[in-house]
Amino acid sequence: MLPSVQVVQTMSSREIAALVGSRHTDVCKSIDRLMASGDIGGYAATPYTLPQNGQTYSEYLINQRDSYVIVAQLSPSFTAKLVDRWRELEAAHAPKVPTTLSGALRLAAEQAEEIERQTQFIEQQRPAVEFVGKYVKADGNKGFREVCKLLKANEPRFKQFLIDEKIMYKLGGHLTPMAQHMDAGRFEVKTGVSGGGHAFNQAKFTPKGVEWIAGEWAKFNVRQPG
């Protein structure tokens, strides 16, 4: 029997800022301090695009327990409002019990499809997981082409995946990691000047980054039609 996939609900740092009436940058600073002190878990910044200006910024997606710690630091008087908001989120995601035979049959069919999807995901992800188990024991960073070879990934398709998923972006003709992935320790970037006097940036995946990207690449391929 396959284990059920538990979806962890989160609240964005932007929503926390709106709830307590604080600036988002101040909330993020508090989150950074609490992560550094170990009072809350570690979170990687997640990019989002602001519709008003089309610019990309970063936010944190926080679990329920840690959101209380953050609000207690920012403004204890708003804790009740946070409790109410979590109740709203939980009510919106609570499973609806079918009251008719047709509804029960539909629910059973949906659960069967979900089990089949999980089975396919596990089978398709297995090669990446097996690779990760072997690779993370090794030392050294890996370049783009080395990772493509290890993952048996088509280079143009893998490059587009990195760009579309906002993992890397093109800078001066070279792939450069997004800041949140650098902060998470998934990349190392070396800068220098070539013999011809040209400045260069060389980005490589760290062992931690290879482990992470292997899983993300596997999940991406599972989502693709056909």
C-alpha torsion angle, residues 143, 219, 43, 6 (rounded to 10): -160
C-beta of residue 169 within 8 angstroms of C-beta of residue 178: yes
Q: Rounded to whole angstroms, how far apart are CA atoms 212 and 132?
A: 9
Q: What's the pLDDT score for residue 50?
A: 82
C-beta of residue 211 within 8 angstroms of C-beta of residue 132: yes
Q: What's the pLDDT score for residue 119?
A: 65
C-beta of residue 191 within 8 angstroms of C-beta of residue 200: yes
Q: What's the pLDDT score for residue 116?
A: 75
Q: What's the pLDDT score for residue 132?
A: 54
Q: Rounded to whole angstroms, how far apart are CA atoms 57 and 17?
A: 15
Q: What's the pLDDT score for residue 95?
A: 63
- Could you list the mean pLDDT of each consecutive 10-residue stretch along the chain, which spans 226 residues? 56 89 90 88 88 88 88 74 77 68 76 72 57 55 89 91 91 85 88 62 87 83 65
Q: Rounded to whole angstroms, how far apart are CA atoms 59 and 4?
A: 28
Q: What's the pLDDT score for residue 3?
A: 47
Whole-model pTM? Answer: 0.42
pLDDT in tens, 170-212: 877 788 899 899 888 899 988 766 566 666 678 999 988 888 8
